[in-house]
Amino acid sequence: MKVVSYIAQWRGIVKEAMNRTAIAVKFLCCLHITDNYFCSPVHIYGPSMLPTLNMVGDIVLAEHLSQRLGKVRHGDLVVVRSPSDPKKSITKRIMGMEGDTVTYFDPMLGDATRVAVVPKGHVWIQGDNIFASLDSRHFGPVPYGLIQGKVFFRVWPLDCIGVPGQ
């Protein structure tokens, strides 16, 4: 009789463990889908987006639907896979869409301005701080496929919470 009760008790424990594991797996799947396809937090730091974003680091939310639906526009802050270092993501502002002619100033060239035409399937991105930004002025237009998300809300630091740049 005791053996049967131990087996029944063991089965109950295993069943409870399986149920809790299933809940954890469902949660992690939901988190993965949300993070990769809908919205994810991004830590942004560095001087390239001053004064819009802080140099010591902001945490923003980036949604991943706009670039998939072709809904990014001039002036949007976007998170982009860096063309010069694919292990990194950078945050810049879209200054030109495909077909646009962009006139830009590169402080490394002195007072000279240059003109570029953004090819089909590309965007022109620049940091707000042109004196400390590695962007399209250095590596050219960026393929649309490198855009990972559009920044829509700053969550940290708390005194700057809200839509960046407003």
Percent of the chain scoring above 90 in pLDDT = 17
pLDDT of residue 51: 84
Catalytic residue flag (residue 5): no
pLDDT of residue 166: 56
* Terminal-residue alpha carbon distance, the chain: 73
Catalytic residue flag (residue 48): yes
31 domain-assigned: no
**pLDDT digit string, tens, across residues 4-30:** 677 778 888 889 999 999 999 999 999
12 domain-assigned: no
Residue 91, helix vs strand vs coil: strand
85 domain-assigned: yes
Of 145, 1, 12, residue with least CA distance to 86: 145
Q: What is the mean pLDDT of the chain?
A: 84
Using CA atoms, how far apart are residues 78 and 107, in angstroms rounded to an integer? 23
Q: What mean pLDDT do residues 50-63 have? A: 84
113 domain-assigned: yes
pLDDT of residue 104: 84
Domain harbouring 95, CATH code: 2.10.109.10
116 domain-assigned: yes
Catalytic-labelled residue, pool 2, 26, 40, 48 = 48
User: Domain of 146?
Assistant: 41-160
* In the block, residue with structure tokens 């809908």: 38
pLDDT of residue 158: 65
7 domain-assigned: no
pLDDT band at 82 (very low <50, low <70, confident <90, very high): confident
Cis peptide before 164 (omega within 30 of 0): no
Catalytic-labelled residue, pool 87, 88, 89, 92 = 92
Q: What is the number of alpha carbons within 13 Å of residue 138 lying toward its C-beta? A: 13
153 domain-assigned: yes
Q: ∠57-66-38 over CA atoms, to 5°? A: 70
Using CA atoms, how far apart are residues 44 and 59, in angstroms rounded to an integer? 6
Into how many domains does the chain fold? 1
Backbone angles phi and psi of 37, in degrees to 5: -120, -15
pLDDT of residue 163: 72
59 domain-assigned: yes
**pLDDT digit string, tens, across residues 92-147:** 999 988 888 888 887 777 777 888 888 998 999 988 888 888 888 888 899 988 89
